[in-house]
Structure 1
């Protein structure tokens, strides 16, 4: 029986504490040369695609720009169309919000990218109920959370109608959108872009099972990955879809070394650089809703409980809606781990799934994970811009190929070819 093949994608790093800006190898997140170097290296590694995150507004923390944000997210479509000119096979994914955009313009932008790249466009659909961001995009600020996926579905339905219209007249009317006319762009090489989705709520999973070609999963451990894999693919039958029509890709990091001990040391060094003392306090304040600057990041968690009604950070944050419950879980975790300090706890709770070891060990870990149906592959989130993929491509990719679970060449020109997907009709 042939081994299941691993899919790899890469997230271009550039904003938030994932990127280690203090590293001497860290470069610009806005210079086009950085995008070129990153994309061409991913293509050398035969990756399916790269994707760019979305940043519509800088977060504010206690009335100031959040310490972990960096001014500089160039326009997604501008960057991807430029990358298309310096790559040949690599898929090009853009994170574009369904809450703050309109289908006619968005469909035209993605259709243009798919034509200009020869069929390599992908759309990472995200929703938002963030009033802070929405102030600049919608009258009234935002949609209520329960309306987000309804608008997302209507947005996708409208965009698909445009992409597949082949010049036929459009007369589309729904709760959210009204469109009349003929779409000005002919059918694209892929029919329409590959659709990526990342929602993890029940509504998000249903939306993904119904619509997505790829899922950006948050489930990093083997057990939670297997549970998510089985649940998401188990939902697809009701929509007339087969499990192989969705590629599940959890985000992951990696740390390499010539020995396992050296790799562990490198991994620890990276995590400490990602979570500085001030970063640890900022993350804690997001949950506690209080000014905790007087607390020692190398000391214990605060005795005081969070303020559930406080809004100390404006913009997207990582934590659940119940800060008291989060604080209680963190206290239990800190105690169970032998009395973790604030900084140690934040390192523990914000870490992504990470593969650590020699190149051969990392390849074997990834292969075992995919063969056990915990995912179909991975989205790598490197800690350096733009050279974060270099060592992986040079050392781990050949090991994956040696294991027989990774391609040795691209077998088609489009992203749908890379993912084994049929052209929609």
Structure 2
């Protein structure tokens, strides 16, 4: 090869490979369930269509977000929410039968479950899927949600990471209780145990004191892939130490790069090798034949997602006041938030720790841009990050990942179940042409496809 001439094939091989997941939210205002093209939010055909489309696009995994309680406003169920979503694990188990390569990741709560039961269910899913199970570990300190469970809402907010840390450690102890060679397959005698001690475990901590025998043999991945989210220093340390992938809330490149570097540094300080933790923001997309067409579509979608009533409710989650008397097309409320009053909204995750500071920032934004209450809500609660032609969206995704803003994205669509089809048909081929996205699956497990080192028995 002539000096100075670049081998294009080698350039493609050296490019960072983009991780792609697809998510279906639980309770949310983003899904346009009333759209004429929308399908059922609970029929299995919906989940199957999205999963098969993602696998056709060589995505890494299908992800189910979940809510454990129907959200309420002043005691009444939100009529903006999708409700009635089936339980996560049966859906993922059913999808294992209609997919071959796609990872199957579920949001499962460490506050209201028990290690033995959940570890057994996840190991079973890993067996049934041939090593494609993943667990998004979440916590809750919400007494409203806790009323659905035996413990109620007793868990103090400061203790949620203590319990989650012990929960994950206990689950790993259970998964490691079976050596890889503990099962012997014999055609004449059937399958039997080589080691009568397999499955024995004991774990003792502040939250759990358990011992016994784990009934489920070591699964194909050893440990399912673990996903977590953490923005606070405590949350970042917890995720960097125990997760294989972390949800990032940052979409601006400079902030995303800082978060990426910080998480990798925290993981290294905890003795983890480079590449052990993948960073994955969630995002949505709107495509068009031109940028102008895509932007017009995005404006229409955003205004259907955030109606005037929805805008009032979204802001009530921060103000903690009844804002139904304020005109959605008028200015922001002139009253201060009331964080210590009885909750107006129940069952929604707390996204803003300092309501007074958040409201001050929003007022400055609204004044600077001449935004109404509704326009502000559209801008601050929107997650549509990729708007443009397929080529423009492919360029933005590729650039963001190659510059270590993330390792990929978890994509959602306003239209269920067919919204992902357009992305797979038009953007995926362009990413494949760039050498940034696989054209075929190369691993047999989710962990292998993600490029995450295996977890060894502790």
TM-score when scaled to structure 2?
0.90
User: Within 2, Cα distance between the matches of 1:284 and 1:179?
Assistant: 44
Match of 1:54 in 2: 66
Match of 1:185 in 2: 216
User: Within 2, Cα distance between the matches of 1:322 and 1:416?
Assistant: 38
Query: Alignment partner for residue 237 of structure 2, among 193, 206, 210?
Result: 206
The CA deviation string for residues 6-47 of structure 1, in whole angstroms up to 9 with x for no partner, is 110010145311101232111111100001101000000101
Task: Work out whether 1:315 is the aligned partner of 2:347.
Answer: yes
Query: Alignment partner for residue 416 of structure 2, among 357, 380, 385?
Result: 385
Match of 1:362 in 2: 393
Give the 3 Å change call, closer, same or farther, for CA 168–318 of structure 1 in structure 2.
Answer: closer
Shift of 1:72: 1.1
Query: Alignment partner for residue 167 of structure 2, among 155, 160, 167?
Result: 155
Task: Work out whether 1:405 is the aligned partner of 2:417.
Answer: no
Give the 3 Å change call, closer, same or farther, for CA 45–387 of structure 1 in structure 2.
Answer: same
What SS does the corresponding residue of 1:244 show, helix, strand or coil? Answer: coil
Task: Work out whether 1:35 is the aligned partner of 2:44.
Answer: no
User: Within 2, Cα distance between the matches of 1:336 and 1:419?
Assistant: 43
User: Within 2, Cα distance between the matches of 1:319 and 1:155?
Assistant: 24
Match of 2:111 in 1: 99
User: Within 1, Cα distance between the matches of 2:246 and 2:269?
Assistant: 18
Match of 1:25 in 2: 37
User: Within 2, Cα distance between the matches of 1:220 and 1:109?
Assistant: 34
Whether the aligned pair in 1 keeps the contact of 2:33 and 2:82 (CA below 8 Å) is no
Matched length: 424
User: Within 1, Cα distance between the matches of 2:163 and 2:448?
Assistant: 29
Whether the aligned pair in 2 keeps the contact of 1:213 and 1:246 (CA below 8 Å) is yes
Query: Alignment partner for residue 310 of structure 2, among 274, 279, 289?
Result: 279
User: Within 2, Cα distance between the matches of 1:382 and 1:142?
Assistant: 36
User: Within 1, Cα distance between the matches of 2:350 and 2:388?
Assistant: 28
Whether the aligned pair in 2 keeps the contact of 1:13 and 1:383 (CA below 8 Å) is no
Give the 3 Å change call, closer, same or farther, for CA 33–168 of structure 1 in structure 2.
Answer: closer
Whether the aligned pair in 2 keeps the contact of 1:14 and 1:29 (CA below 8 Å) is no
Gaps of 5+ in 1: none
Task: Work out whether 1:76 is the aligned partner of 2:67.
Answer: no
Give the 3 Å change call, closer, same or farther, for CA 318–391 of structure 1 in structure 2.
Answer: farther
Between 1 and 2, higher relative CO (CA 8 Å, sep ≥ 6) is seen in: 1
User: Within 1, Cα distance between the matches of 2:224 and 2:127?
Assistant: 10
The CA deviation string for residues 284-333 of structure 1, in whole angstroms up to 9 with x for no partner, is 22222222212110100111212222211111245313322221111011
What SS does the corresponding residue of 2:275 show, helix, strand or coil? Answer: helix
User: Within 2, Cα distance between the matches of 1:57 and 1:159?
Assistant: 25
What SS does the corresponding residue of 2:111 show, helix, strand or coil? Answer: coil
Match of 2:194 in 1: none
TM-score when scaled to structure 1?
0.97
Match of 1:89 in 2: 101
What SS does the corresponding residue of 2:444 show, helix, strand or coil? Answer: coil
More moved, 133-142 vs 307-316? 133-142
The CA deviation string for residues 127-168 of structure 1, in whole angstroms up to 9 with x for no partner, is 111111112224352311211111111001110011011124
User: Within 1, Cα distance between the matches of 2:223 and 2:129?
Assistant: 13
Whether the aligned pair in 2 keeps the contact of 1:363 and 1:400 (CA below 8 Å) is yes
More moved, 112-121 vs 383-392? 383-392
Match of 2:192 in 1: none
Shift of 1:182: 1.3
Task: Work out whether 1:331 is the aligned partner of 2:343.
Answer: no
Match of 1:215 in 2: 246
Task: Work out whether 1:126 is the aligned partner of 2:138.
Answer: yes
User: Within 1, Cα distance between the matches of 2:384 and 2:282?
Assistant: 7
Match of 1:137 in 2: 149
Match of 2:15 in 1: 3
Task: Work out whether 1:244 is the aligned partner of 2:275.
Answer: yes
Whether the aligned pair in 1 keeps the contact of 2:137 and 2:227 (CA below 8 Å) is yes
Match of 2:288 in 1: 257
More moved, 348-357 vs 122-131? 348-357
